[in-house]
Structure 1
């Protein structure tokens, strides 16, 4: 059997996304359970998510391409020839990786969560899943939905620019680092309206984990409105827009005589 088997690809997506969530959800848990700010703030959250992306892509990039995000997988299937037969299994692996990682965070931080929010309310639900306005009222569902479209469009546009071999990409194996910095930048610039999920697996997997471990309102926002669909549908639409814009406005004009495009599904990270 080939070392680079299909099972290996799915395993890579599972563990790559798991690493992403261990750092991302873990840092939010640390900040939320230390409300005096002694254990971090918004900047530490943005940096830890970026580091999680970097390490998750390094874990999975060689075998699976390091998508670790259903929005990336779907966009690459539409615009870059990634096999559609792999889309569903990749998304399942990504979501399971996020789910397992969130369960680990839930168990490790159980005592601190119980201390600051014993009723498991919206106050600590933010650890696991995003909310409009980060739990503060005033941001509408429509605004949050549009925010997720814009944020993920930015992500995919820039990811496509970074991994395209004809577009002066980062040298050596530095693409995951640059992509991680993109996520840091999005977190610092686009985190106010909806928490910059920009990744359906990142939000749904931990949201499910929180639901089965005591968060009865996991599928709702702070006003009681059904919300879980926003960070799923919004990023998928945004990813298609971002990848499509790069394809039709930039990639089609890049030179083809001195480089070979990056193979889809292998060295294309998230």
Structure 2
């Protein structure tokens, strides 16, 4: 289990993450979602001890990660940029990973590479952006980490390769109970594999729920009233946003429950239809409203 307690990190001109508290259970896939500059990459780099926090701590199975080599051997991190190995040949990077990670499995790397077909004699600088993403995903996963941190792993991938990568990831979680935190702007990717979602904005967690709970609670409602809507309807506290289209209303709510349904009916609602929302829509309405 990964526990993040009161974690904060500031730079010269900005408080990047503010008092983050988060628990990630073993074998779960947590999606970290937010706009550019929200603090996602800073949080991931602080979790893996690239950045030293100003306050707070990160523990894996009760042990503090900071300056702890034995714990770091159990962590795999794929950053959104991988410039260090640019001039290296891939076969030499594989040797480096074998030396650096005691659990690195070269056979596993080669098996995954049967899918991705990255030439081992090429230098990283000769690879496309998508192939670089594939390479470092393979290297990180082949280290057999207990905790896997992925920052934009599908960046630059075409839809076919992306689907293959996500399947390999999910299979690894199923087989090894790997704990995963994944950040991505491709929210449909996260929606297809994550069991838990965290929304972050301006360095703070603004929503932390299972994906099932999010989908149950947050809905778009199409509502038609028998006569006129209540005068204050568009300002009900249950709604994040309301649009009026002719006689009907489209209302976004993050508390779609029996209490709200009863309130609508008591106020003359003749027709109510619940529509599921995409993760992208959930993020937009949560942050903007």
Query: What TM-score do you get using the length of structure 2 for normalisation?
Result: 0.26
Q: Which has the higher strand share?
A: 2
By relative contact order (CA 8 Å, sep 6+), the higher-ranking structure is: 1
Query: What TM-score do you get using the length of structure 1 for normalisation?
Result: 0.28
Q: Which has the higher helix share?
A: 1
